[in-house]
A and B are shown apart, each in its own frame.
Chain A
Amino acid sequence: MTKSATRETADIASVVGRKNRIINGNFDIWQRALSQTATGYGSDDRWLNMIVGSTQVVSRQAFTLGQTDVPNNPKYYARTVVTSVAGTGNYVVKSQKIEGVETFSGTTATLSFWAKADANKNIAIEFAQSFGTGGTSPAPSANVLGIGVTTVALTTSWVKHTVPVALPSISGKTLGTNGNDYLWLFLWMDAGSDWNARANSLGQQSGTFEFSQVQIEAGSVATTFEPRSKGEELALCQRYYWQKSTFIATVGAYRTATVLENCQVYFPVSMRAVPTCALPSLSGNIYVNGSSTAITGGAAGGTGLNAVSINLNSASKPVNAAAWASASSPITANAEL
């Protein structure tokens, strides 16, 4: 028996690894929270859960140990409970922005995922290409929307769905200069009529939608889901978002009257772009010349791809004195697309 070229390609892809361009497709990483209701990034890493008008409850769910409905023993899956609210512009979408608009451009790629719903229900798949921002002559090309718009019928059982998509060439397009271009995957669950062209006239519906093992790979064949180690997956996610519940900086520092301290906190991996950093509740002490003074606040100062410099405030402000600080706070660094 002779294998087809397509089959051989699929066989090779299934063993060489790094084929899946979706990050956190196995829903193992939930740095921000285990559930969310607001629109935006808020629970499952890298997944942008968007709503307008309708409501959502996104949450992490655990598979029963030893289950065989979904292969490869995934530990978690993502659930979205949609409560649809009538409105032509309303929607609930689960999406992911894949860094680099060149991803699979001019070729066929295949999306595969396991999914089920609380009843037989449709969802719609869409891809878009965004050419980023920055630059004026010429300006970045406009987004290309409505790529590969397809309806997928879910049932109440876990089923693997496969959606090949021909992604347009980006030849002749203009990239923005800010390095924030991307390929965008949309999983439409609820869509008012304004979105008919992009959601294949899906319409509005409430329900519970569950997703597992989302993968997009080169070629027209969906191969076995590529598992990555949790450490590797976490590092991939941390390129875009990182948080610690508490950091403690114990550092040498140099002090002036206006920039009080410069505590370096290093990120675990280099981030995609200079991140937004938040330190919502700084506390601790600054020690100067053998005496301590309480930290009264502070904020991220200079931020780079690898570290953030934190400026600390205190009531006492010695000038040009060597100091060190023991400060703690939750800290987040956000460089999502």
Chain B
Amino acid sequence: MTIETVKIQGEGWLVNGSMSVPNSGGNSDYHDVQEWIAEGNTPDPEYTDEEIAANAQAEINQENLAYLADTDWYVIRKADTGTAVPTDILDARAAARAAIA
């Protein structure tokens, strides 16, 4: 196997962008990766800083979208019956909207 790029992937490695090599000594590609590392090469991290930030923001977005969806009924009830939305709910919904990027 000719190795061009290696990226950490869980307990194994993603080689050349498409081959997932397991951390298993019975696998012949595993030994190629070990030789590549022994030659002084270092695998890239599993996630770049940008990917980590994007994943974190995606998680924040999804949590807050879920909260807004769960509390929409307060707003609908107010429109239908005039019953006020509790202040703590209004504050939390505002915070959720602000957190979504």
Contact = CB atoms under 8 A, between A and B. Distances in A.
A334 B16 CA distance: 15
Contact of A299 (B1, B9, B59, B62): B9
A334 B30 CA distance: 11
A337 B70 CA distance: 54
B59 A303 contact: no
A279 interface: yes
B55 A257 contact: yes
Chain A contact residues: helix, strand, loop or mixed:
loop
A300 B20 contact: yes
Interface string A274-299: 11111110000000000000000001
A291 to B, nearest CB: 12
Contacts of A308: 20
A56 B19 CA distance: 25
A301 B20 contact: yes
Nearest to A333: B20
B18 A303 contact: no
B58 interface: yes
A286 B59 CA distance: 17
A76 to B, nearest CB: 26
Interface residues of A, number: 35
A97 B35 CA distance: 21
A278 B59 contact: no
B72 interface: no
Contacts of B62: 257, 317-319, 321
A217 interface: no
B48 interface: no
Interface stretch (A79-87, A148-156, A175-183, A222-230): A175-183
B40 interface: no
Nearest to A280: B18
B59 A134 contact: no
Contact of A258 (B21, B28, B55): B55
A15 to B, nearest CB: 35
Greatest chain A CB density within 10 A among B9, B19, B21, B27 is at: B27
A337 B20 contact: no
B56 interface: yes
A335 interface: yes
B28 A303 contact: no
A178 B1 CA distance: 19
A38 to B, nearest CB: 9
B14 A299 contact: yes
B25 A177 contact: yes
B78 interface: no
Greatest chain B CB density within 10 A among A40, A180, A272, A321 is at: A180
Contacts of A319: 58-59, 62-63, 66
Nearest to A303: B22
Interface of B: 1, 9-10, 12, 14-15, 18-22, 24-29, 31, 47, 55-56, 58-59, 62-63, 66
Interface of A: 40, 133-134, 176-180, 256-258, 272-280, 299-303, 308, 316-319, 321, 334-337
Given A40-B1, A258-B55, A273-B27, 15 more contacts: A178-B26, A257-B59, A257-B62, A273-B24, A276-B15, A279-B18, A303-B22, A317-B55, A317-B62, A319-B59, A319-B62, A334-B29, A335-B26, A335-B27, A336-B28
